[in-house]
Amino acid sequence: MPHISMVTLGVDDLARATAFYEACGWRRSPASVPGVVSFLHGSTAALGLFGRDALAADAGVPALAGAATPSEISLAMNLSDPDAVDDAVAVAARAGAVITAPAQPTDWGGYAGSFQDLDGHLWEVAHNPFFPLRDDGGVALPTDDAIGG
């Protein structure tokens, strides 16, 4: 089955980015290599932080100039309720994130806010009452059987 087990973000300053994500509640793995790469534990996936130029070299592509553009990718955390969304957005702001959309009710019946991390990566923090969470915190998307397909 297709899945994502890790997301790796190219960052300008590895120590600064690692401190930001730790302040947001991610836990650094002992598999991290100081000054090279930080691996962080989440509840459903791992997050890797790698210097932009090193990430580009590792992938065999030209160096990645400048901060991430929000239209390139958006990462998301789905949480159990609106209060958890408010708390997560507040924690990110205290850690230095730029709040790009305050947490508020959405037009699709949920509750969400967005922020950019220290390197410009865009995150959405949401509560979607139509996508229940599994015990591990992962999203339980509807299956074709559940929607009559």
Same domain, 42 and 84: no
Q: Do 87 and 119 sit in the same domain of this protein?
A: yes
Residues 83 and 98 in one domain: yes
Question: Residue 65 has what pLDDT?
Answer: 60
How many separate domains does the chain show?
2
Residue 127: strand pairing partners: 111
**Residue 94: which domain range?**
67-149
The pLDDT value given to residue 15: 96
pLDDT, position 52: 81
CATH of the domain at 112: 3.10.180.10
Per-residue pLDDT reduced to its tens digit, 62-97: 766 665 554 456 788 999 999 999 999 999 999 999
Among residues 39, 66, 93, the one where a domain terminates is: 66
Amino acid at 42: G
Domain stop point among 66, 85, 108: 66
Residue 86: per-residue pLDDT: 98
Q: How far is CA 144 from CA 43, 78, 112, 129, in A?
A: 26, 21, 26, 18
Same domain, 22 and 57: yes
- Choose one of 66, 83, 106: the last residue of a domain: 66
Q: Determine the pLDDT at residue 138.
A: 80
How do 6-11 and 46-51 pair as beta strands?
parallel
In whole angstroms, what is the distance from residue 92 CA to residue 23 CA? 8
Residue 59 and residue 34 in one domain? yes
Same domain, 31 and 60: yes
3-state class (DSSP) for residue 103 = strand
Q: Which regions in the chain score pLDDT beneath 70? A: 1-3, 58, 63-73, 143-149
Q: In this structure, are 21 and 87 located in the same domain?
A: no
Whether residues 142 and 75 share a domain: the answer is: yes
- The per-residue pLDDT for 66 is 60
Domain check: are 60 and 98 in the same one? no
b/e per residue, 128-138, with b = 16+ CB within 10 A?
beeeebeeeee
The pLDDT assigned to 111 comes to: 96
Task: For residues 28 and 101, state if they share a domain.
Answer: no
The full length of the chain comes to: 149
By three-state DSSP, how is residue 45 classified? coil
